[in-house]
Chain A
């Protein structure tokens, strides 16, 4: 992609510099050593299994159904969740992990559509109509009950957004303590000069709103139901 335009920058920044003058400069700024870093102490010493317990408990807070299973029983679990949500049609991301987990065959046996990275309109239309969207979680945050999706290429931003129901498959190995570990990972990518995903979603349960009298209503623009399936041997 060609470099974008930058308009009016110099005058704008010169004005700021004049105001905070002396303190700042054009030279790289070193971040100071913060006096305290409480984010690094959250859930300190917890192992993966303890983190799963934290995740399971947090799911209650965020109106999310929690399942734990093995690779072998994964397809069965998905079937039962879909039944629970009265879902027939599926949209899922174009992601090699479905193949790797050997559930692609199962998924295609359903009334399912794989996100097509070359067809904007078509893919969006199908995602709109699908009853359930299924994706893998890239990083899973135990503390807040969050699945992090590094949406690029064939992932499709709409898969986890447009259908009324959402299922996240959570490989046990993706579970970390909290957001800190996810942002550390992304920061490291940036440091190394790697591209980061154009849309990183931190998803914590179904969509909701409290705009009407502070009453929590689940399912406003995004999914109305969300299920997390932790897979022990992934």
Chain B
């Protein structure tokens, strides 16, 4: 599955989202639960703001010295006997992974949740060479069964589906006969996936955080699938976006604590699994061979730009869970596997404006995302920076808007012009108004008045009132 998902046209995707009542109901209730849990977990700490400060310092420092830490990481992994492949592009990463799969003659591949492998369409690449790839995260498994329905959320990929729909998928694809109770559905998936794990020749994991000082990889899960993937198959490949790294264990503590709280409101998730190299001689289980694939795929384009902070993201989805736009349109409307505020920032950077020019505008700039981000990424400001780039560097804003803005500048810069224009406004709008309300506006106002009335400007402006009061010498109005 590539980064881009669904319909090409943004407006169509939005309409589809807005019309999907099932999805909107599911998203709304999920958001409310997740928001509550996050807020409770943050409040419990008492000094959440200090934690965020520390988180942002750690991420900032790491990204500023990314070359050093990646170097250190790769040295450590190699010392332990693991192999490291640096991939500039998704294709390079896939070729390498295909090569390992072929060498190991892998038929069945068990995979734990990983966004970067979605981004580079790794599953398709492996299927091309005849491998069967099994998603083992419950949410991903459901989507995979459902004809590769794309994920709509970076932590809970099947958030847009309700349990009845999931029962339907299981029934159709796997002859599931029981009820839509989540317990029964999960138990069924447990049994099915157990078989897959034991048969898999190759395990592929993502990476929440790599630890440079020891060449370790932390996987944060609740289900335990990443543990399965790293205990049972004989060969393991870990694929990481190049920014998913911390200097040492002390920093791992902080970012993991932030991640689990911000993502799901847990102090720690059920399993934090830290893997260091292949299994040792005296161990029975664990991979005999270990490969690390470090993926750039557009990330280095972001380094050194005003968007560098976007690389601080720890993929907790807190910004998605509070976003009112996401709530109404759902994840698929973003057309990217990275939805919500972080998706609107990241997708145009990893791809281009051609594909994602609308996303930076899909925000009311309410700042809810910036407020919750555990590593203090100024998300709404980054959206404004995108808009600036689109307007000033790419010159891609609509001509009509440019004309309006140029006029606006002249208007507000000239006190006289501004005064005249505001004075004229009530008269100019009179033809459209009834009882001082405009219910069918001209020009861009018609979008507004589709569902809302617009007030007609007052006949006497504030400044007129103030002036005449001053002239009459009322109260202490002076000057």
Is A38 in contact with B231, judged by CB distance below 8 angstroms?
Answer: no
Ranked 6 nearest A-B pairs via Cβ: A222-B224, A1-B81, A211-B139, A19-B303, A144-B267, A12-B86
From A78-86, A95-103, A104-112, A148-156, the one touching the partner chain is: A148-156
Assembly CA distance A35 to B60 (angstroms): 13
Q: Which residue of B lies closest to A32 (CB)?
A: B61
| B contacts with A, residue count (CB < 8 A) | 111
B310 at the interface (CB under 8 A from A): no
Q: Which residue of A lies closest to B189 (CB)?
A: A220
A217 at the interface (CB under 8 A from B): yes
18 contacts between A and B (CB under 8 A): A1-B80, A4-B77, A8-B86, A34-B58, A141-B268, A157-B230, A157-B286, A186-B214, A198-B278, A198-B279, A199-B286, A200-B273, A204-B272, A210-B264, A211-B139, A212-B186, A213-B30, A220-B222
CB-CB under 8 A from A31, the residues of chain B are 61, 247-248
> Given the interface contacts A202-B273, A212-B185, does A38 sit within 8 Å of B249 by beta carbon?
no
Assembly CA distance A45 to B84 (angstroms): 44
B454 at the interface (CB under 8 A from A): no
CB-CB under 8 A from A26, the residues of chain B are 67-68, 71
- Residues 442-454 of chain B: 1 if any A CB is under 8 Å from the residue's CB, otherwise 0? 0000000000000
B144 at the interface (CB under 8 A from A): no
Most buried by A among B58, B75, B142, B269: B269
Is B272 in contact with A202, judged by CB distance below 8 angstroms?
Answer: yes
When A and B form their complex, what is the total count of cross-chain residue pairs whose Cβ atoms lie within 8 Å? 316
Is A217 in contact with B183, judged by CB distance below 8 angstroms?
Answer: yes
Q: Interface SS of chain A: helix, strand, loop or mixed?
A: loop
Q: Which residue of A lies closest to B137 (CB)?
A: A211
CB-CB under 8 A from A71, the residues of chain B are none
Is A208 in contact with B223, judged by CB distance below 8 angstroms?
Answer: yes
Is A4 in contact with B80, judged by CB distance below 8 angstroms?
Answer: yes
Is A206 in contact with B270, judged by CB distance below 8 angstroms?
Answer: yes
CB-CB under 8 A from B283, the residues of chain A are 117, 151-153, 155-157, 198
Question: Shortest Cβ distance from B157 into chain A, in angstroms?
Answer: 8
Is B142 in contact with A4, judged by CB distance below 8 angstroms?
Answer: no
Is B276 in contact with A200, judged by CB distance below 8 angstroms?
Answer: yes
- Residues 134-177 of chain A: 1 if any B CB is under 8 Å from the residue's CB, otherwise 0? 00000001011110000111111110010000000000000000
Please report A residues at the B interface, Cβ cutoff 8 Å.
1-9, 11-13, 15-17, 19-21, 23-29, 31-32, 34-39, 41-42, 58, 61-62, 115-120, 123-124, 128, 141, 143-146, 151-158, 161, 179-180, 182-184, 186-187, 190, 195-215, 217, 219-223
Among B278-333, those with CB < 8 Å from A are 278-280, 282-286, 290, 294, 296, 300, 303-304
Select which of B51, B53, B65 is within 8 A of A29 by beta carbon.
B65
> Given the interface contacts A34-B57, A183-B250, A212-B138, does A146 sit within 8 Å of B276 by beta carbon?
no
Question: Shortest Cβ distance from B78 into chain A, in angstroms?
Answer: 4
> Given the interface contacts A153-B283, A187-B213, A220-B138, does A12 sit within 8 Å of B88 by beta carbon?
yes
Q: Which residue of A lies closest to B277 (CB)?
A: A198
A157-B231, A190-B249 given; 10 more Cβ-contact pairs under 8 Å: A6-B83, A19-B303, A26-B68, A32-B57, A116-B284, A123-B285, A186-B249, A204-B267, A215-B182, A223-B224
Select which of B138, B157, B280 is within 8 A of A198 by beta carbon.
B280
CB-CB under 8 A from B198, the residues of chain A are 124, 128
Most buried by B among A4, A34, A124, A128: A4
Is A157 in contact with B47, judged by CB distance below 8 angstroms?
Answer: no
Assembly CA distance A142 to B264 (angstroms): 19
B275 at the interface (CB under 8 A from A): yes
CB-CB under 8 A from A25, the residues of chain B are 68
Select which of A37, A118, A119, A179 is within 8 A of B268 by beta carbon.
A179
CB-CB under 8 A from A196, the residues of chain B are 214, 216, 276
CB-CB under 8 A from A190, the residues of chain B are 213-214, 248-249
- Residues 238-277 of chain B: 1 if any A CB is under 8 Å from the residue's CB, otherwise 0? 0000100001111011101100000010111111111111
From B158-166, B384-392, B417-425, the one touching the partner chain is: B158-166
Select which of B58, B64, B187, B224 is within 8 A of A161 by beta carbon.
B224
Is B67 in contact with A38, judged by CB distance below 8 angstroms?
Answer: no
Assembly CA distance A141 to B272 (angstroms): 13
Select which of B189, B282, B290 is within 8 A of A154 by beta carbon.
B282
Select which of B67, B213, B227, B252 is within 8 A of A221 by beta carbon.
B227
